[in-house]
Structure 1
Amino acid sequence: MSFKIAIIGAGSVGFTKKLFTDILCVPEFKGIEFALTDVSEHNLQMIKAILDRIVEANKLPTKVTATTDRRKALEGARYVISCVRVGGLEAYADDIRIPLKYGIDQCVGDTICAGGILYGQRNIPVILDFCKDIREVAETDAKFLNYANPMAMNTWAAIEYGKVDTVGLCHGVQHGAEQIAEVLGAKSPRELDYVCSGINHQTWFIELRLNGREIGKDELVAAFEAHPVYSRQEKLRIDVLKRFGVYSTESNGHLSEYLPWYRKRPDEITRWIDMSDWIHGETGGYLRYSTETRNWFETEYPQFLEAASKPIDPSKRSNEHASHILEALETNRVYRGHFNVKNDGVITNLPQDAIVESPGFVDRFGINMSAGITLPEACAATCISSINVQRMSVHAAISGDIDLLKLAVLHDPLVGAVSTPEEVWQMVDEMVVAQAAWLPQFAHAVPAAKERLSKSRVKTREWAGAAWRSVRSIEELRAEKAALKQAG
């Protein structure tokens, strides 16, 4: 086969490499073209060197190009994959740092809550630029695969306003299923059959069967509470399982910031989180992890380049959806997965305009969703709260209406549990001013926001959150990796 895949934000080096090797595990895809594009020439050249090394080591006819000219990369592409982070770590730091001044303690801040909403404001105008280029220079009916967060907002904007065939992709469902299979004693995750449905990062395992046997709430609770690691790392997630009756796809840290109950009192936060790894609830944990990962890659790049000389092992193909979707579309080998699409009847008790994450099947005719799923009422209620925030956030990003943006933040479950309206209004002004370079749609609102900030009497505090850890040095990371290697 011969077709072109464009990857936008290809400077996300580790993830781009994973997508690349996954796709080349499909025998029919050896001769395709990958067009890499990113705003960073430095990152582009690093990832291109790695991919070129893989191609050379495996004696493949695969073509790899790299350019900062996005439109050129998209010319003639049949598939476009986005894994961008607009504003990079600089803007992301403000997503975490500024809300902390108003008492809002986030672990990740990339989906909803104050950080996720502002992240969406930065991403959506750029997503629409991608869509314009796809419509104009890519293959007719090219498919846009969005991996970038905030998943629901980005996908919503691409479908509703970008008018491009778009699917949102995430790996939370797969990781949650692996956990469930492990606690139930399965020899392989393949022994677990499940239906998982909801919205991205708030998806729920509403049906579970292990080797054909139905698994109920009580058995699942007992299995998690008996597990020597998850019983400690997933305390909040297990508590939600007990109360809702179903398990959430999202990690302890992710889930904690989408709900109004667990992170609103500083002295309560440490009760529900675990500090053994960032993903279990650490304040700004993903920001620290991302910073350390970037620093590690820059320093240890020769090792990454050397590792690229190894043969591709199809048995190590990951469970990321992209390669499996492309394989199904191009070869008609059917793939079942969980995809982010416009609702339109997929879930009966969620708004029809929302972006939902639910089961579907892929073949040469496209992505075919299973329709008519009804969520448990508590799951639907929680999802609807987030959907209302997502809808307002998308509309604010499209219109540049700062008042609507403030209302979206005000209605966020965790923000509303922690902050007053006056605090929210000032916080949004502060975030828009700080991130003005990436928010062109709010340029008209920045002078007035600055004026209000100069006169504001709303008190803030310098607070690092309930569970903050500093970024570790390369030497500390090396020592930790050496200790882990020695231990096991």
Structure 2
Amino acid sequence: MSFKIAIIGAGSVGFTKKLFTDILCVPEFKDIEFALTDVSEHNLAMIKAILDRIVEANRLPTRVTATTNRRVALEGARYIISCVRVGGLEAYADDIRIPLKYGIDQCVGDTICAGGILYGQRNIPVILDFCRDIREVADTNAKFLNYANPMAMNTWAAIEYGKVDTVGLCHGVQHGAEQIAEVLGAKSPKELDYVCSGINHQTWFIELRLNGRPIGKDELVAAFEAHPVYSKQEKLRIDVLKRFGVYSTESNGHLSEYLPWYRKRPEEITRWIDMSDWIHGETGGYLRYSTETRNWFETEYPQFLEAASKPIDPAKRSNEHASHILEALETNRVYRGHFNVKNNGVITNLPQDAIIESPGFVDRFGINMAAGITLPEACAATCMASINVQRMSVHAAIAGDIDLLKLAVLHDPLVGAVSTPEEVWQMVDEMVVAQAQWLPQYADAIPAAKERLSKSKVKTREWAGAARRSVRSIEELRAEKAALKQAG
């Protein structure tokens, strides 16, 4: 087979390498072309050198090109994968820093909450540019695979306004299933069968079977509470499991941001989180992790390049959906996964226009969703709160409507639990002004926002958050890795 895959945001070096090696684990795909594109020539050069080394080491005919000209990369592409982070770590730092001034403590801030909503405002204009280029220069039947957050908002914009065949992809379901299999004592995650449905980062394991045996709430709660690690790291998820009756896919820290109950008071935050790793609830945890990862990669790049000389091992193919979807579409080997698509009746008690994440099957005829799923009422109610915020956020981003943007932020569950309307209005003005270079749709609103900020009397505070850790130096990271290696 010979076709072209374009990867936008290919400068996300580690993730691009993973997708690349996954796809090349499919024997029929050895003769394809990968077209890499990114706004950073530096990152493009690094990832191209790594991928070229993989091709050379494995003696493959695979072609790899790299360009900062997106349209050139997209020309004739059958599949387009997006891994973009618009504004990079600079804008992301504001997504965490500014809401903290108003008492809003986020662990990740890339899906909803104040940071996730502003992230969507930066992404959506760019997503629409991608879609325009896809319609104009890509293959007629091109499929857009979006890995970038905020997943639901990006996918919503691409489908509804970009008019491109789009699916959103995430790995939260797979990771949650691995946890469940482990606590139940399964020898392999493949022993666990499940139906998991909802919206991205709020997906729920509504049916579980281990080797064909149904697993109920009480057994699952007991298994998690008995686990020596997860009982400490996933306290909040276990509490939600007890109250809702089903387990959530999302990590302890991420889930805490989407609910209005666990992060609204600083003294409560430390009760529910765990500081053993960023993902369990640390203030700005993902920002710290991302910063350390970038610094580590830049410093240790020669070692990453050397590691690329190893043969590709199909047994190590990851559970990221992309390669499996492409394999099913091109070879008709059926794949079952969980995909972000427009609802259209798939989940009976969520809105038709919402972007849902639910099971589907892929073959030559495309992605075929399993329809007629009804969520437990509490799960649907929690999803609805986020869907309403997502819808307003998308519409605000499309129109450049700062008043609707403020209403979207006001209706966010955690923001609404912490901040007053006056605080929300000022916070949004401050975030839009700080990120103006990535928000072209708000250009006309920026002067008035600056004027309001100059006259505002809403008090703020400089606050690091309830559970903040400093970014570790390269030397500290090296020492920690060496200690772990010695202990292991």
Q: Which bin holds the TM-score, normalised by the shorter protein?
A: over 0.9
Q: Pairwise mapping of residues 296-315 of structure 1 onto structure 2 (< 5 A)?
A: 296-315=296-315
Deviating beyond 6 angstroms after TM superposition, the runs of 4 or more aligned structure 1 residues are none
Deviation at 1:125, TM superposition (A): 0.2
Root-mean-square deviation (CA, aligned residues, Å) is 0.2
Per-residue CA deviations over 1:300-359 (Å, capped at 9, x if unaligned) read 000000000000000000000000000000000000000000000100000010000000
Q: Deviations over 1:49-90 (max 9, x none)?
A: 000000000000000000000000000000000000000000
In the other structure, the counterpart of 1:426 is 426
Distance 1:425 1:484 in 2: 46
Question: For residues 95 and 71 of structure 1, what CA distance do their matches in structure 2 show?
Answer: 30
CA drift of 1:141 comes to 1.6
Describe the SS at the equivalent of 2:47. helix
What secondary structure sits across from 1:6 in the alignment? strand
CA deviation string 1:247-274 (max 9, x = no partner): 0000000000000000000011000000
Give the corresponding residue for 2:108: 108
Distance 1:195 1:486 in 2: 40
Q: SS of the residue aligned with 1:311?
A: coil
Per-residue CA deviations over 1:379-425 (Å, capped at 9, x if unaligned) read 00000000000000000000000000000000000000000000000
Residue 367 of structure 2 aligns to a residue in which SS?
strand
Q: Find the counterpart in structure 2 of residue 355 from structure 1.
A: 355
Please state how far the C-alpha of 1:363 moved relative to its aligned partner.
0.2
**1:126 and 1:203 mapped to 2: Cα distance?**
27
Give aligned pairs, total: 488
Task: Tell me the distance in 1 between the aligned counterparts of 2:331 and 2:384.
Answer: 37
Deviation for aligned residue 1:161: 0.1
- Post-superposition offset of 1:435: 0.1
* Other structure's SS at 1:444 match: coil
SS at the partner of 1:448? helix
Consecutive unaligned residues of structure 1, counting only runs of 5 or more, are none
Q: Could you tell me how far apart the structure 2 residues matched to 1:346 and 1:479 are?
A: 49
Post-superposition shift, 1:35? 0.1
Matched with 2:338 is 338
Partner of 1:182: 182
Report Cα offsets for 1:153-174 as digits up to 9, x if no partner. 0000000000000000000000
1:434-484: per-residue Cα shift (whole Å, max 9, x none)? 000000000000000000000000000000000000100000000000000
Deviations 1:188-240 (A, max 9, x none): 00000000000000000000000000000000000000000000000000000
Query: TM-score, normalised on structure 2?
Result: 1.00
Rounded to whole Å, the distance in 2 between the matches of 1:209 and 1:69 is: 48
Give, in angstroms, the shift of residue 33 of structure 1.
Answer: 0.1
The match for 1:406 is: 406
Distance, in Å, in 1 between the alignment partners of 2:47 and 2:353 is 37
**Partners of 2:484 and 2:208 in 1: CA distance:** 34
| Secondary structure, aligned partner of 1:224 | helix
Secondary structure, aligned partner of 1:20: helix
1:284 Cα shift?
0.1
1:66 is paired with a residue whose SS is: strand
Say which SS state the counterpart of residue 167 (structure 2) adopts: strand
Q: Hey, what does 1:122 align to over in structure 2? A: 122
Mapped to 2, the partners of 1:348 and 1:393 lie a distance apart of 23
Structure 2 distance, partners of 1:479, 1:257, is 32
Structure 2 equivalent of residue 389 of structure 1: 389
Q: Note the C-alpha offset of 1:113.
A: 0.1
Output the CA distance in 2 between the equivalents of 1:201 and 1:420: 26
- Structure 1: how far apart are the matches of 2:351 and 2:107? 28
Q: CA deviation at 1:241?
A: 0.1
Matched, 1:55 2:55: yes
1:150 and 1:83 mapped to 2: Cα distance?
11
- TM-score (norm: length of structure 1): 1.00
In structure 2, what is the Cα distance between the partners aligned to 1:141 and 1:393?
29
Residues 134-166 of structure 1: CA deviation (Å, up to 9, x unaligned) = 000000020000000000000000000000000
1:443 aligns with: 443
> What residue in structure 2 maps to residue 379 of structure 1?
379
SS of match in other structure, 1:447: helix
Offset of 1:24 from its aligned partner?
Answer: 0.0
Question: Which secondary structure state, in structure 1, belongs to the residue aligned with residue 443 of structure 2?
Answer: helix
Partners of 1:363 and 1:254 in 2: CA distance: 32
SS in 1 for 2:445: helix
Q: What is the alpha-carbon distance in structure 2 between the residues aligned to residue 470 and residue 334 of structure 1?
A: 46
Residue correspondence of structure 1 range 226-245 to structure 2 within 5 A:
226-245=226-245
Query: Aligned residues: percent identity?
Result: 94
Cα distance in 2 between the residues matched to 1:389 and 1:487: 46
Q: Give SS of 2:444's match.
A: helix
- State the SS of the aligned residue for 1:344: coil
Deviations 1:284-309 (A, max 9, x none): 00000000000000000000000000
- Secondary structure of the structure 1 residue equivalent to 2:198: strand
C-alpha distance in 1, partners of 2:413/2:479? 40
